[in-house]
């Protein structure tokens, strides 16, 4: 019951580390995972994505505290409780983040995590195919474990969305993960040969085929710290409590909710809060559980006048046929997450790089799988990228089985409301372009009558939903930063032999979905753990709108 490296969590970062730390055969690696198998069509079929994130079998089922600025609503906060972690229940959208996000990390104290440092790790992890839809291969990776592809974009609404962006005067991009994020273009997905290409499929399964890598199903209670050093992990397994020993290091990769929870149960966190629960303080780190961030989004829904949306498949017969085609041939509608067009835009002049993200979907439907009663429609998921609001994760109890106490404190700043109102009006501008003339029916949501700032604010408060991108609760920063939890080598400050490497270490949330940067953290952390020289820094410069101070429209009008 010991290994050189013990990794807590088999999610996006944990699976990547299992693969890299065991790669040369010199070290034994043990992954601790509580969740069950990821086998079966609910997880592996991309189009079934709304099911696993709403199933207790695969999801921890966490919820927030009542959010004071969202009418006291309690929001779902899913995290994967399954092999592959949240990469097995997410929407499979692949976004690296913007170059400026990582330069901000570096400027805030995460030395060695600027864009020039992380780009080589993105290239190492990717096996990218543009499917004939453009993009510059020199910015991408072509032989990594993680397959990144693009959907067929066969539905004409996908092209209508992009053309509407052009007609409204915005930038185009043929690869938002390459040189130029800003603009309208194709969306990328972690799907390969019609299957969800989770971190489990990309990294963990190949790693577990090696003699020096294993996985243990157990519930992690806390980390054992002796003489200032993490030496083992206390787990519950088969109704018994056992200790797993680490010969070299323990790496915590259990999510932005469970990583700070486990640290606090182990005596690492805000001293006063630990004392409230009768937990002996090993290291007083006030930043543990703080700095919680997320992306909120709205679903702006428009009725479609032609019966071409996915709503025509929203019946048992059609779902059965799609499922059968996928089971037999791994193709058809079941082989895509249906997020196949996207946009990243700047909200106003003076914003240097995109701060609004769009996912476009040729159906009016919620993440929980509830379709709009109106029938045929299409929608844009839209939300600001860099809210100033911050929340926190705390212990609800010293009982390790108790869910963490999660409060995002969404929409706590006036700027949040301004940003969301701008998102709604921008979406209406796009849906109002000629490209949608043949398809546009009435506005389903918010509804054409919702126009004033007050009316829009009421709609936002009642309908804003999490995009499920929690991060930041074990912030990476300089060792002398009192709010930092880990240093730029991912080492927990004040404790030897313990690191954290997952989305919880993000100093600030990145643009877009967080699966890709979480895997990148696992990739880069592996080299740090092994004491290897980092990959050589890149000298590539990202595209920044030359007129960003003056305009949000295209630099060269279409």
Q: Supply the residues annotated as catalytic.
A: 469
Distance (Å, whole) CA 192 – CA 202: 10
Query: What is the phi/psi pair of residue 70, to 5°?
Result: -120, 45
Pairing of strands 377-384, 356-361: antiparallel
CA distance 142 to 166: 30
Q: What are the Cα distances from residue 319, in Å, to 311, 314, 323, 534?
A: 11, 7, 6, 47
Neighbours of 292 (CB within 10 A): 25
Query: Given the DSSP bridges, would you call strands 268-269 and 283-284 parallel, antiparallel or unpaired?
Result: parallel
- The one-character DSSP state at 305 is S
DSSP assignment string, 439-505: TEEEEEES-TT--SHHHHHHHHHHH-EE-S--B-TT-B--TT-TT-SB-TT-BBTT-BTEEE-SGGG
H/E run at residue 380:
strand 377-384
How many angstroms separate the CA atoms of 351 and 107, rounded? 18
* Binding site, annotated residues for FAD: 82, 90-93, 220
DSSP secondary structure string for all residues of 91-128: --B-----HHHHHHHHHTT-TT-SHHHHHHHHHHHEEE
Provide the pairing of β-strand 341-345 with 183-186.
antiparallel
CA-angle at 274, arms to 273 and 279, nearest 5° = 160
Query: Could you tell me which residues are annotated as the binding site?
Result: 82, 90-93, 220
Work out the end-to-end distance of the chain between its first and last CA atoms, rounded to an integer number of angstroms: 63
Cβ(466)–Cβ(218) under 8 Å?
A: no
Determine how β-strand 146-150 pairs with β-strand 126-128: parallel
d(CA 337, CA 196): 9
SS (H, E, C) 235-249: EEECCEEEEEEEEEE
Burial class of residue 544, CB neighbours in 10 A (0-12, 13-18, 19+): middle
Return the H-helix or E-strand segment holding 516.
helix 515-530
- The token pair that represents 22 in the structure block: 């065991």
């Amino acid at each position: 019951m010991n290994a050189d490296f013990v990794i807590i969590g088999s999610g996006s970062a944990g699976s990547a580390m299992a693969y890299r730390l065991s790669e040369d055969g010199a070290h034994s690696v043990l992954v601790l995972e509580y969740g069950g198998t990821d086998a079966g069509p609910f997880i592996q079929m991309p189009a079934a994505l709304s099911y696993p994130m709403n199933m207790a079998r695969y999801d921890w089922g966490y919820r927030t505290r009542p959010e004071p600025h969202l009418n006291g609503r309690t929001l779902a906060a899913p995290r994967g409780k399954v092999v592959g972690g949240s990469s097995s229940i997410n929407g499979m959208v692949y976004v690296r983040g913007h170059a400026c996000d990582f330069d901000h990390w570096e400027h805030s104290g995460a030395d060695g995590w600027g864009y020039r440092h992380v780009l080589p790790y993105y290239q190492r992890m990717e096996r990218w195919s543009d499917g004939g839809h453009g993009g510059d291969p020199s910015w991408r990776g072509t032989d990594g474990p993680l397959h990144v592809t693009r959907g067929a974009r066969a539905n004409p609404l996908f092209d209508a969305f992009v053309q509407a962006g052009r007609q409204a005067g915005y930038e185009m991009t043929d690869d938002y993960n390459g040189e130029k994020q800003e603009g309208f273009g194709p969306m990328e997905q972690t799907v390969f040969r019609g299957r969800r290409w989770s971190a489990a499929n990309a990294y963990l399964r190949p790693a577990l085929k090696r003699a020096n890598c294993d996985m243990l199903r157990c519930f992690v209670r806390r980390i054992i710290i002796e003489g200032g050093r993490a030496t083992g992990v206390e787990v519950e397994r088969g109704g018994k409590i056992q200790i797993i020993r680490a010969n070299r290091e323990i790496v915590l990769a259990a999510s932005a909710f469970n990583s700070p929870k486990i640290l606090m149960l182990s005596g690492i966190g805000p001293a006063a809060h630990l004392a409230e629960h009768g937990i002996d303080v090993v290291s007083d780190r006030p930043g543990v559980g703080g700095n919680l961030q997320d992306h909120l989004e709205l679903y702006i829904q428009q009725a479609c006048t032609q019966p071409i949306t996915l709503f025509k498949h929203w019946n048992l017969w059609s779902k059965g046929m799609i499922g059968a085609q996928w089971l037999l041939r791994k193709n058809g509608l079941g082989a895509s997450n249906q997020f196949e067009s996207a946009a990243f835009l700047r909200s106003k002049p003076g914003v240097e790089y995109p701060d609004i993200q769009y996912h476009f979907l040729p159906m009016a439907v919620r993440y929980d799988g509830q379709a709009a009663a109106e029938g045929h429609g299409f929608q844009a998921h839209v939300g600001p990228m860099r809210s100033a609001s911050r929340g926190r994760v705390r212990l609800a109890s010293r009982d390790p089985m108790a869910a963490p106490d999660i409060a995002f404190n969404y929409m706590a700043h006036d700027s949040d409301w301004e940003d969301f109102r701008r998102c709604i009006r921008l979406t209406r501008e796009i849906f109002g372009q000629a490209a949608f003339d043949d398809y546009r029916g009435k506005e389903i949501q918010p509804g054409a009558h919702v126009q004033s700032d007050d009316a829009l604010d009421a709609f936002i408060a009642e309908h804003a939903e999490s995009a499920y991108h929690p991060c930041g609760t074990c912030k990476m920063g300089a060792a002398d930063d009192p709010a930092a939890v880990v240093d730029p080598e991912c080492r927990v400050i004040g404790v030897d032999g313990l690191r954290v490497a997952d989305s919880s270490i993000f100093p600030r949330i990145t643009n877009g979905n967080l699966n890709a940067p979480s895997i990148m953290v696992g990739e880069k952390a592996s080299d740090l753990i092994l004491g290897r020289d980092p990959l050589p820094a890149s000298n590539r410069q990202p595209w920044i709108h030359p007129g960003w101070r003056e305009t949000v429209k295209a630099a060269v009008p279409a």
